[in-house]
Amino acid sequence: MDFDFTTEQIELRQNTIKFAQKELNKDILYRDKESSFSKDLWEKCAKFGILGLPFPNEFGGADSDILTTLLVMEGLGYGCKDAGLVFSLNGQMWTVQMPIFNFGTSKQKSKYLPKLCSGEWIGANGMTEPGSGSDSFALSTSAKLKGDYYILNGTKTFITNAPVADLFIVFATTDKTKGFMGVTAFLVEKESPGLKISKEIEKMGLKTSPMAEVIFENCNVPVENRLSKEGNGATVFNDSIEWERSCMLASDIGVMERQLERCIKYAKERRQFNQPIGKFQAISHKIADMKVRLETARLILYKVAWLKKTQDRAGMEAAIAKLYLSESLVKSCLDAIQIHGGYGYTTEYELERDLRDSIGSTLYSGTSEIQKNIIAKYLGL
Amino acid sequence: MNLNDELEKFLLTEIAIDFDPDKKSLSPDENLISSGIIDSMGILKLTAFMEKKFGIKIGNEEIIPENFQTLNALTEFVEKKIKK
């Protein structure tokens, strides 16, 4: 493993930070309060090249390797205070674009990837259902082949980007007798007859990332929009969720670094009992803990990226990364608030928003408990 | 130990044990998927084992019922991959 980044990679990260600080933070307090998604900011990120980073030039991407991509996403998390926007971007990159790239036909890739990389279209991934969350493949949405179309029926919930999405990757059962291997993935366009989007789901954090239910009532999907073979849906899902678990939290390394620097500055400036509060071990130890978590989380992230680059499969390591980074992020957010005292509790200081935004990371893409189940399974338990 | 036996041993000791700890053997055409012996997590573990043990690379598009649903199908699949 060699994590010695080139000058170009470091510059790219710095440029991303500058871009994010200049372009993405305006009105964040207002947008968070109003749960408002910004298509304008989405397009700015696409224009900067975020969405296309790991995808080939022929589809409008930058053809960056995975470590470079994660370094940029780290920079984005450091510079951009709009965690909902970053979450939505990540959701599309890893659970919509990546499965299309890995499993799509040439026609599907040419049709959809350029639109997604350029920001013209927004994508969403539909797996979770009202009755199936952690037990992902116990889904009830069905797809029946009728002539040149599959007829989809069912409901998907907690679908990130659904209210603004143009394209959905939807998982449905095509053969119940085959259990999880009877699941198939489909590319469903927004205008497909029988597709309905519910009203937005309000949530605790990541408020600028829109979420809704998606309902399929005799929704017609052309056979050519099946993603991979019938029965290969579980593999499509497992592959994309492994990418998501490996890469989605890279931005949170940036968030943790930003918080750490802010806490160090505050601990040096804020005086109580005639000395900077950083002189009290109660504060300095918290900051030391934040630094240890940041550095260990960063190494775990880089290791899983290196494994994805060199060996492709990294099921257990992706679960370790997801578990450790998300739990570390929540702890850092709590520490940052505690260090800032009453000010940390105020909306104006923006640390309470970081905390609200962080909680979701221990839930989406498999809860922390599910990550531990996966790790234990790989250990033969 | 031949390839079939290696696969059966792994399935019994690492995969089926969660489903039925007392299971001592697998019949060649027993459906491992519809019976619930191989679940969505088990298939990840099984795939990783097959790649490492037999030195093969399994493409994502090859993880389909036809290749994984019985011990016989698994054995044939791995034999073909090794020959390639």
Cα–Cα dist A195/A215, whole Å: 6
B-chain CB neighbours of A178 within 8 Å are 33-34, 65, 69
Q: For residue A106, count other CB atoms closer than 10 A to its CB.
A: 7
Q: Are the beta carbons of A103 and B41 separated by less than 8 Å?
A: no
**pLDDT score for A353:** 98
Mean pLDDT for A119-147 is 90
**pLDDT score for A203:** 97
pLDDT tens digits, residue range B2-16?
898 999 999 998 888
**pLDDT score for B68:** 92
A-chain CB neighbours of B61 within 8 Å are 103, 228-229, 232, 235
In this prediction, what percent of chain A has a pLDDT beyond 90?
87
Both tokens of A211, joined, read 């979420």
> With bands split at pLDDT 50, 70 and 90, how would you rate the model's confidence at A124?
very high
- In this structure, is the dihedral angle defined by the CA atoms of residues A128, A130, A134 and A138, taken in order, positive or negative? negative
Q: In the predicted model, what is the mean pLDDT of chain A?
A: 95
* Residue B19: pLDDT over 80: no
pLDDT tens digits, residue range A290-339?
999 999 999 999 999 999 888 777 889 999 999 999 999 999 999 999 99
* Residue A372: pLDDT over 90: yes
pLDDT tens digits, residue range A20-51?
999 999 999 999 999 999 999 999 999 999 99
**pLDDT score for A155:** 96
B-chain CB neighbours of A373 within 8 Å are 41
Mean pLDDT for A129-144 is 85
**pLDDT score for B21:** 77
**Global ipTM:** 0.79
**pLDDT score for A313:** 79
Q: Are the beta carbons of B63 and A235 separated by less than 8 Å?
A: yes
Nearest residue of chain B to residue A135 (CA atoms): B40
**pLDDT score for A276:** 98
Dihedral angle computed from the Cα positions of residues A189, A177, A375 and A170, in that order, rounded to the nearest 10 degrees: 0
Report long-range pairs for B51-56 (Cβ below 8 Å, ≥24 apart): B51/A313, B53/B6, B53/B10, B54/B3, B54/B78, B54/B81, B54/B82, B55/B82, B56/B81, B56/B82
pLDDT tens digits, residue range B21-74?
788 888 999 999 888 888 888 888 899 899 999 999 998 888 888 899 999 999
Q: Is A228 left (phi over 0), alpha (psi -120 to 50) or beta?
A: left
**pLDDT score for A1:** 74
Mean pLDDT for A155-184 is 94
Pick from B60, B74, B77 the residue to mutate for testing the A interface (most A CBs within 10 Å).
B60
Cα–Cα dist A177/A250, whole Å: 39
Q: How many residues does chain A have?
A: 381
Residue A34 bears catalytic tag: no
Both tokens of A19, joined, read 């871009």
pLDDT tens digits, residue range A62-81?
999 999 999 999 999 999 99
* Residue A219: pLDDT over 80: yes
Q: Under a CB-based contact definition with an 8 Å cutoff, are residues B41 and A315 in contact? A: no
Phi then psi for residue A265, to 5 deg, are: -60, -45
Chain A contact for B82 (CB, 8 A cutoff): no
Q: Are the beta carbons of A182 and B65 separated by less than 8 Å?
A: yes
Cα–Cα dist A62/A53, whole Å: 5
- Considering CB atoms only, which of B39, B42, B60 is closest to A235? B60
Nearest residue of chain A to residue B51 (CA atoms): A313
Whose tokens are 């990260």? That residue is A13
Chain A contact for B5 (CB, 8 A cutoff): no
* Residue A149: pLDDT over 80: yes
The whole-angstrom distance between B77's CA and the closest CA on chain A is 16
Pick from B35, B45, B51, B63 the residue to mutate for testing the A interface (most A CBs within 10 Å).
B63
The whole-angstrom distance between B2's CA and the closest CA on chain A is 23
**pLDDT score for A303:** 94
Active-site choice (A129, A244, A317, A352): A244
> With bands split at pLDDT 50, 70 and 90, how would you rate the model's confidence at A278?
very high
Q: Are the beta carbons of A103 and B61 separated by less than 8 Å?
A: yes
Nearest alpha-carbon partner for A328 in A368, A364, A366? A368
Q: Give me the total of CB pairs closer than 8 Å, taking one residue from chain A and one from chain B.
A: 62
A-chain CB neighbours of B36 within 8 Å are 179
Structural domains of chain A ordered from first start: 7-122 (1.10.540.10), 124-235 (2.40.110.10), 249-378 (1.20.140.10)
The whole-angstrom distance between A373's CA and the closest CA on chain B is 9
As its CATH architecture, domain B3-83 has Orthogonal Bundle (1.10)
Mean pLDDT for A343-351 is 97
**Lowest mean pLDDT across A121-125, A215-219, A235-239:** A235-239
Cα–Cα dist A131/A189, whole Å: 24
* Residue A179: pLDDT over 90: no
* Residue A117: pLDDT over 90: yes
> With bands split at pLDDT 50, 70 and 90, how would you rate the model's confidence at A17?
very high
**pLDDT score for A45:** 98
Dihedral angle computed from the Cα positions of residues A330, A334, A335 and A337, in that order, rounded to the nearest 10 degrees: 140
Q: What is the pTM of this model?
A: 0.93
Chain A contact for B14 (CB, 8 A cutoff): yes
**pLDDT score for B7:** 94
Chain A contact for B68 (CB, 8 A cutoff): yes
- Considering CB atoms only, which of A103, A180, A182 is closest to B39? A180
Domain boundaries, chain B: 3-83
Q: Are the beta carbons of B60 and A182 separated by less than 8 Å?
A: no
Both tokens of B61, joined, read 């598009």
Q: Is B12 left (phi over 0), alpha (psi -120 to 50) or beta?
A: alpha
